[in-house]
Amino acid sequence: MSACEILPTAEKIIDWCDYIERAQDRLGKSGDGQRSGTIVLKDRYPLKRELVLDSHVTIEGSVRAKHHSGSSHGFYVTDDFEGDTVISWRKPKKNSNYSNFGAGIYQIHVESKDGVNGVSFRGAQQSCRVDNLVVRNFGAATGLTLHGDTYTVRDCFVDAVKGGGRSATVDGATAFKLPERAYSLALNNITSHNCEVGLEAADLHQVAITNFETETTHQPLLFTYNVIGVNISSCTFRHTDEILNITKVDQQRNRTRIER
């Protein structure tokens, strides 16, 4: 089976993470033994712990994700949520950083809570996509973490505050983070709201960032290590005195220097 639906009728189920993770068993397996296919949501579901998806699984809502959780399909964390991240993807193998073919997240709204990261996505090649993703209310954490190579991230709204909350920069909040080496990504029409850092990246190679909007974000762009061949265009940085900070770590001398 290449796709399965998660229906909003099982109200007596306590652990939706367990329910969805077991639903993956209805999907076929790829050559590396990981499940491959699409899980379709029909509602928004409470999570008590981190939802971990197999390497080649796409999760998608049935309607376009809106700014507010109640009118979208996706997930929200409970008050007793346990874990550092709401949703993440496995690797096929321990050192397979660029092999999550077919992974994706589409038309999903994720509402976190202060200090809990929203989504940690790992993808590989054109069969992957991050599209129409809304992540809100993560506070002093990271909204969307990206790993892998050669896929597109588009129409993503990432806000440290949830709808109806006070709009202000949240210390310690990062909207988008690329902490590892990433190749050939295209980030288009993405927004950071109410974050200290809009996009933080370490080791980017041939990445295009277009139509990037930040509002009430102190530092729109922060590059911390080795950024090569990055194209930034058609961006709007609102309500900030700074735009770009490039910090390169000199590992041999164990010190940091600023290069502009």
pLDDT digits (tens, 9 = 90+) for 158-195: 999 997 778 899 999 999 999 999 999 999 999 999 99
- Rounded CA separation 169/64 (Å): 27
Q: What distance in Å separates the CA atoms of residue 118 and residue 26, rounded to the nearest whole number?
A: 26
Dist. CA 117–CA 146, nearest whole Å: 12
Pairwise CA distance, residues 40 & 25, whole Å: 14
The count of C-alpha atoms lying within 13 angstroms of the C-alpha of 146, restricted to the half-sphere facing its C-beta, is: 33
What residues contact 77, with CB distance under 8 A and at least 6 apart?
46, 47, 48, 86, 111, 112, 113, 116
Radius of gyration of the chain (CA): 18
In the structure encoding, which two tokens stand for residue 118, read together? 């929203």
Residue 25 has what pLDDT? 87
At residue 235, the pLDDT reads 93
Interatomic CA distance for residues 134 and 66, integer angstroms: 7
- Confidence (pLDDT) at 239: 83
Tokens, residue 209: 């960032």
Give me the pLDDT at residue 245, please: 84
Quick one: pLDDT at residue 32? 78
Residue type at 37 in one-letter notation: G
pLDDT of residue 154: 98
Q: CATH homologous superfamily of domain 3-258?
A: Single-stranded right-handed beta-helix, Pectin lyase-like (2.160.20.10)
pLDDT at 253: 39
- CA 246 from centre of chain: 22
Residue with tokens 């990445």: 207
Domain segments of the chain as ranges: 3-258
Asked if 198 and 221 count as a contact pair (C-beta separation under 8 A), the reply is yes
Low-confidence ranges of the chain (pLDDT < 50): 9-10, 249-260
Do residues 59 and 104 lie in contact, with contact meaning Cβ atoms separated by under 8 Å?
Answer: yes
Q: Which residue's structure tokens are 């367990």?
A: 18
Residue 186 has what pLDDT? 97
